[in-house]
Amino acid sequence: MLLGALLDAGAGTGAVVDAVRSLKVPGLDVSVGRARRGGFACARVTVSRPASPDRARHLADVLDLLAGADGVTPAAARVARRTFELLAAAEGRAHGTAPDRVHFHEVGAYDALADVVGCAAALDDLGLLAEHAVVTCSPLAAGSGAVRCAHGTMPVPVPAVLHLAAGAGLELAGGDLPGERTTPTGAALVAAVAAPRPMPPMTVRAVGTGGGSRDTPDRPNITRVVLGETTGASSGPVEGDVVVLESTVDDLDPRFWPSVLDALRAAGAWDCWTTGVIGRHGRPGRVVTALCSQQMRRAVTDALLLHTSTLGVRWTTYRRATLPRRGALVSIGPAQRPEGVLVKTAERPDGTVTAQPELSDAERAAASLGWPLRTVCEAVMDRWHRDQPSADAPGPDGPDA
């Protein structure tokens, strides 16, 4: 559906088809047609799969396919790698194993490969992977009920979607929708390129609509992409609501706190921490605090009640202002097998820009390259600074152009 929306918004079909075919998987192809969902016209993408049975893959298998795809641009390849790395990390957290040991089942299948590579190529063709591009997303419709997968029947949203949302700060909504509405592949694609923010003020230039396989009677089964040029000052603080949950715990084994914080993030907390306190009768304890959206309050509350010994949770809603954050993928390491690290940036009201590498990405790159973590962070920031356009660089016709 996302690929259909990007193509409907103007991405070149040829660029997408060439990228998918360059994976060199005989029989793997994509085509786009027109359809109607809930009365609305949309693009409908079909993935043609090889006749031979597919197999489960590890992350290294997928990265090898991407490394040999000469029809995928460097920017699109970085996004595709980042998407599968996010998927591996989320599946690893869900199953308690290292990302490189995760067996990709549905998310490593032929159609997922086509979806990810096709979307990455479409994003690049539309200019949405350029440094100046700002990509935001609304809350993702999670769905409800259960879905059958390689691990049996799972509740919706499935664990990988929750871990992806927790890691990227994505908002989930639409619990009244039956069935699985956001898949791990879709959530990872959004997490790789977009920040959860309201639609910025902009002059709309194009609208793309992608349709799913189902034509549901109660609402259109579509995904929309809106392209435009920002208007006004969109880099200032963004105001919104944040739910703050707290509980005081004085009888939990201290060794359990790391797993508690992991569980809160997996349930949808944007951030969480503990603070030491002295409680009743002089007993030492911890106040655990979690930040989340209103939509995820119940899930985070349930996780806190399940993973600690507390008997109650309190919460309140605050207004807050946050700086819009953007991310840029930076590649380091050998040219034949580079490692991608996300650099998070934010522009302050005075125009200065702060930038920091995503620590989990840097740790993964350090383990893969055999470099010290400090060396990876320094290399990433050095490369990021070198990639920034110089304000003093002359134009194409000289300094006065």
What count of residues does the chain have?
401
Q: Which residues contact 340 (CB under 8 A, 6 or more apart)?
A: 78, 81, 82, 85, 329, 330, 331, 361, 365
Q: Which amino acid does the sequence have at 72? A: V
Beta bridge partners of 272: 290
Query: How many whole angstroms separate alpha carbon 286 and alpha carbon 276?
Result: 5
pLDDT for 390 equals 59
Structure tokens at 1: 């559906």
Structure tokens at 293: 């959206």
- pTM of the full structure: 0.67
Query: How many whole angstroms separate alpha carbon 255 and alpha carbon 239?
Result: 37
Query: How many whole angstroms separate alpha carbon 344 and alpha carbon 184?
Result: 22
pLDDT for 396 equals 38
pLDDT for 350 equals 83
| CA-to-CA separations, 301 to 199, 251, 264, in angstroms, rounded | 29, 18, 8
pLDDT for 235 equals 56
pLDDT for 246 equals 98
Beta bridge partners of 347: 353
pLDDT for 106 equals 57
Which residues of the chain are modeled with pLDDT < 50? 391-401
Q: Is 136 helix (H, G, I), strand (E, B) or coil?
A: strand
Query: How many whole angstroms separate alpha carbon 43 and alpha carbon 176?
Result: 26
pLDDT for 108 equals 58
